[in-house]
Amino acid sequence: MTKKIKLKISARLLKKKLRKDSTGGSKHCRFCNNPELVTEIDYKNASFLRKFLTERGKILPARISGNACKYQKMVAREIKNARIMALLPFCATSY
């Protein structure tokens, strides 16, 4: 007789799994497999970079925008350059 062994999953991991499923699965990066869009990441193209800012002018985290690490670093660098040239706000007070 062989006993059936049940795998124990902790409540914390179960909750984590539920949370992941509730948000609609994994996000995908918009720049991966899209080289034309990568060329648009430029400090002069402020209207495109505005997509990666919050209402207050903060940079959106990759956790929310879904960018891959490589492209998130590129976007953040160009946003910081655009901020220096006053094309994008450091801190948006009115929205």
Partner 1 sequence: MLRYEILFLTVPEITGDEIESIKSYFLKSIRAAQGDMLSFERWGKYRLAYPVNKNDYGVYFLARFEVALENRDALLKDVRGAYIFKFNTLIMKNMIHRLDSEASLEYKRPESLEDSPSDVDSFLKKNEMEGLLKPKGGFRAKKTEDKSIVGGVAFEAEAAIIATKATVEDDIENSND
Pairwise CA distance, residues 40 & 36, whole Å: 7
**Closest separation in Å from C-beta 60 to partner 1:** 17
- Taking the least distance from each CB to partner 1, the nearer of 44 and 73 is 44
- Taking the least distance from each CB to partner 1, the nearer of 32 and 41 is 41
- Taking the least distance from each CB to partner 1, the nearer of 46 and 59 is 46
**Closest separation in Å from C-beta 35 to partner 1:** 12
Positions in the binding site for partner 1 (CB under 8 A): 39-40, 42-48, 81, 83-90, 92
